[in-house]
Chains A and B, each alone.
Chain A
Amino acid sequence: MEQTQSFWQFVAQQQDKLWSQTWAHIGLTMISLILAILIAVPVGILITRKQKLSGVVLGFAGVLQTIPSIALLGVMIPFLGIGPKPAILALFLYALLPVIRNTYTGIMEVNPAVIDAAKGMGMNKWQVLTRVELPLAFPVLMAGIRTATVINVGVATLAAYIASGGLGEFIFGGIALNNSNMILAGAIPAALLAIILDFLLSLVQKINLKSIRVTYLILPFIFISLSSFYLLPTQIGGRMLGGFTPEFMGREDGYLGLKKIYHLGIETVVISDAVMYKAAFDHELDVISGYSTDGRLKAYGLVILKDDRHIFPPYFAAPIVRQDVLDNHQELEGVLNQLSGVINDSTMTSLNYKVDQLKQSPEKVAMDFMVAHQLYKPAKGATKGTIRIGSKIFGEQYILAQMYKILILGNTNLAVETKTGLGGTKICFDALTNNQIDFYPEYTGTGFLVLLKPDKKTIEQLNGNTDGVYQYVSNEFNRQYKIKWLRPIGFNNTYALMMRKEQAQSLHIESITDLTNHLNQK
């Protein structure tokens, strides 16, 4: 579906977005950096005076830096919410170590004879610091600032995960959409930014300072107040705020469709799905894009808005099996179909909830379910061969794989080997076609849009047509790959818009159309 569009066309088309992302990126980097310098330089100086503290302080700053960036961003959300604030704090923490360490090393490396001479000539402590120690430590200190800058430009891309903007929006959107132009439109400016900032700072580094004047310290404050303007838009906020994943933002069957078909006019931020649900729960966001069977739906008290105009394609799950496997084991198809129609959306949501939120093992959750629905039978004993079940790398797929394992063991004489955690769609499907696994659960929408990639006309024709899509993938998979789609399990794990239950109820919003009407009201 990716139109053959050149990189430059993409850039030209997305110019405005690119500029705003670049500015946001510079803003995030520079504000956090300057804050870090304002704190880290005095701390660095302090630990040259109180050597005993140096180990503790450097150790602490070092530990901060080993925290994975995503985790650090995640930890901030409960305190600071989403948006630039937690991102700046995280970047600030990352920048501390290089600046503190280099301030410390720089000052410690100043020739003691020179400091001695300074004192001996009658300079007071402040004069020794500002005229001798800091100017002489300056190149080393600047090296630390350069390191911090380059780190921050890189880490700031991750800020896109928590709705802070920046070039990460393109990068992660591009990765999610498999759109290399989009990835490059984010990655190239980010790299250039790192190179340019580093170069400018290298020029500063070469300046021979005779003394550090207090007036220099005022400049950063001016800079911060100027650059903080970029923060304002998200801080004013509208009536309702939507938080969508980078992938969702770029998809026709996502945000683009919402705008086109529903004329939804909502203020949006880009955010990672790892923190999106929690942010909605915490009232940071009002509307989010999620998956309809996600366990967090239940955990955070969210409801799905009805897609009354059918922009989200159906993603019904069903096992897809290589035809030769079915031919060799005639009994298999009937056994696997025992699960068909058994699990609906809310059942799947609560099963996922048990695995993702309550941290129960997929084996236990599957077993409990099968026992409760009289689908469990003791294993018959394997004599006839082995079936290899694959699954993608998330909870729902693990659960389904376990359920099929129980069915096969209880109803056939086949042994089962599970190959779970096969990364994404592509990896799973390749494993299937290359005879490394025999079947795995797939979703109709994924088979349709990702694996078959039909032309635009077919997509529009079948849009929202559940049976039509199922028929289409069944036929095409059989024809192209000799792979059979068994009957759907029942639930539809599709994109969905979600809101907090109380808010949706109090505003009487049940469908996306209701939401649009509500937003257009005033």
Chain B
Amino acid sequence: MTLLEVRDLRTWFEGDAETVRAVDGVSFSVGEGEVVGLVGESGCGKTVTALSILGLVPEPPGRIQEGSSIRLGGRELVGASARELRSIRGRRVGMIFQEPMSSLNPVYTVGEQIGEALRLHRGVRRREARRLSVDLLDEVGIPEPGRRRTQYPHELSGGMRQRVMIAMTLAAEPELLIADEPTTALDVTTQAQILGLLDRLRSSRGMAMLLITHDLAVVAERCRRVLVMRHGRIVEEGSVEAIFREPRHPYTRYLVYAAMSPAAGAGSPPAGSEGDVP
């Protein structure tokens, strides 16, 4: 069953001087319990695609253009009322944001923030919320969750903040999770733990996931299907196996090459492939 269906999504930012066509004709779908990877270079429109689905594009200057369609479980979200979008956000569609500090509230402790998500989306009582928030922090690999619960975001390390935000998003038990670079601040061990947790939630609760990342290694391991985006459009789509075996678009070829070489951080690409990426 299709859970999310995006058709010809175009999200533009109309400024005084320029119109930025951040997303310019994107179509894809995510099935129930399916994990789809979304990759592409910096600035290609991945985050704006995600924000469009959640109804979080700042309007103005942003605007989802006429003819775009985003359907969640058959319900059209483009043009839906602010109230309806609010009821979908968190509860049905959860998002792990790329920059944790932008979505954590500096004046509440992390326990209060996770507790709030639990009460709001799952109707959990205060005392129960406290216990569950400690469990959630533990599940995302925060040591000493009981103590960390009482700290403010600025008192945590970068990697801890990222995990707190993941815990907060998962507290709502969304049907669809949009994870925007969810593990960039984490070492491999913790990263594996988080991705494993997301996997378990997929199989136990059928949670679907749109996984945005620039790390093709993560995609290879966690997704069946992958979308490659460039300049606001999807330039390639297919199974992970097919894309690794036979990447068609030059940018995909380059990403695959980079992911396979051991020191992907700074090595040189094979002769000939560099010129493919303008």
A and B from one complex: no
Residues of B within 8 A of A (CB): none
